[in-house]
Structure 1
Amino acid sequence: MGKLNEKTIWITGASSGIGKELALQLANLDCKLILSARRENELLVVKNNCKNPKNVVIMPLDLANHKEMSLLAQKAWESFDGIDILINNAGISQRSLIANTTLEVYKKLMDINYIGTLALTKALLPYFIANKKGYFVTITSLMGKFGSPYRSGYCGAKHALHGFFDVLRMEHQKDNIEVTLICPGFVQTNVAKNALTADGNAQNIDDEKTQNGLTTVEFSKQMIKAMEQRKFEAYIGKSERFGIYLKRFFPKLLHNVVMKSAVR
């Protein structure tokens, strides 16, 4: 299995939450890091809190700006003369009913979570092919495997990521390119606060399930272990991760469980 020590790793969504904690833990493994997010000031804070900040490059990135990805991929590759791993972590969630949600909200969710992630992945892919190795790690969600009310657009984008990256793994196995899909359950981040509502504004409130989820520290430890084991998929969370198996074997039961739950 592949240890991550001293690897060169590019992390998107690295200014807070899961991305920030991954940066801190991977820095302790003496990795060289490229940290991307929209907020440059917050990235600088993360960099300065990493072990060996000189081995950390910050690179502002907005997944909605698809045309910038080729240039950013070139700059990232040249930062440390190569990249071993891209962690696709950046994205945005949703909390709104289908009947109330504008098409613009759905488009934004797809542009960021799906097309933006694909654009960055495709920009880096030629470098991995030429180098005859590479590793894409994409953080999707348990919502990429089954649905839940108020998250229709988020679920759709996350389901789409699974389809794309499963095929990428198949098509580029010959190039020694690997893919892991990480499916978090509830993690203590600002994902609920930042979630889009029906008109595209942020929800600005947290929810109980998120507050009681895994800490980013525990989640990141489990994610790094899954990466070292090169798992195709990893489901990381508390009891909610068992929805994966209910969906597979007892889909009607899962439907009833979700409908009776207090998830919002």
Structure 2
Amino acid sequence: MLNDIERIWVIGASTGIGKALVTALAKFDKSIITSARSEDKLDALCGQTPSKCEPQTLDITNDSACQAVVEKLQSTYPSIDMVVVNAGTCEYIDSDEIDMSSIKRVMDTNFTAAVSTINAALPLLRESAKQGKTPKLVVMSSSVTYQALPRAHVYGASKAALRYFTECL
């Protein structure tokens, strides 16, 4: 799967699954661009990887910041061969008092910002295809989309929306 992959952009790389993914991908000697809100965590992660790792601080809920990172990547690299959209958040809510601000924050991050990030990254992947490669778009959802969990109302809904949207792509 990684044969024609040279450059990978992992968004949401500073903790959890994203961090573990960067660590695993680094073993394949690929060029990895890491993004997340925490510059310190990205710097530390890139300092621990044996392959070429470049941190790009990014809050995906900021459309202009996302576009600026994409433009920087376009000017630096001929293409990006794999984009992993992994950034997300979770806030639990109680059914007896639904917190609309919590719902808005989680939906904005896990669905709206993720889709905006995908949209911004598509030109990078299309350029990879023009070079004869098979670009990959990887979008992290959750198994919670198949089974409702208590207090995970908005998290599950946001990940289900993201799964549905990307399956339609």
Q: TM-score when scaled to structure 2?
A: 0.89
1:236 maps to what in 2?
A: none
Letter in 2 for 1:141: S
CA RMSD in angstroms comes to 1.7
Among all aligned residue pairs of Structure 1 and Structure 2, give the percentage whose two residues are the same amino acid: 27
2:118 maps to what in 1?
A: 121
**Structure 1 position 81, deviation (Å):** 2.5
Distance 2:5 2:61 in 1: 31
Q: Which of structure 1's runs of 4+ aligned residues deviate more than 6 A?
A: none
2:35 maps to what in 1?
A: 36
Within 5 Å, which residues of 2 pair with 1:237-248?
none
1:139 maps to what in 2?
A: 140
Structure 1 contact 5–29 (Cα < 8 Å) conserved: no
Letter in 2 for 1:37: A
2:20 maps to what in 1?
A: 21
1:157 maps to what in 2?
A: 158
Q: Deviations over 1:5-37 (max 9, x none)?
A: 753111111111111111111111001000001
Q: Is 37-46 or 138-147 further displaced after alignment?
A: 138-147
What is the total number of aligned residue pairs between the two structures? 165
**Structure 1 position 147, deviation (Å):** 1.3
Structure 2 contact 79–127 (Cα < 8 Å) conserved: no
Distance 2:105 2:2 in 1: 36
Structure 1 contact 34–56 (Cα < 8 Å) conserved: yes
Structure 1 contact 6–30 (Cα < 8 Å) conserved: no
Structure 1 residues 131 and 51, CA, compared in 2 at 3 Å: closer, same or farther?
Answer: closer
**Structure 1 position 144, deviation (Å):** 2.1
2:54 maps to what in 1?
A: 57
1:148 maps to what in 2?
A: 149
List alignment gaps of at least 5 residues for structure 2. Answer: none
Secondary structure of residue in 1 paired with 2:101: helix
Distance 1:67 1:101 in 2: 31
**Structure 1 position 153, deviation (Å):** 0.4
Distance 1:40 1:21 in 2: 17
Q: TM-score when scaled to structure 1?
A: 0.59
Within 5 Å, which residues of 2 pair with 1:55-94?
55-94=52-91
Distance 2:63 2:56 in 1: 15
**Structure 1 position 101, deviation (Å):** 2.9
Distance 1:28 1:127 in 2: 23
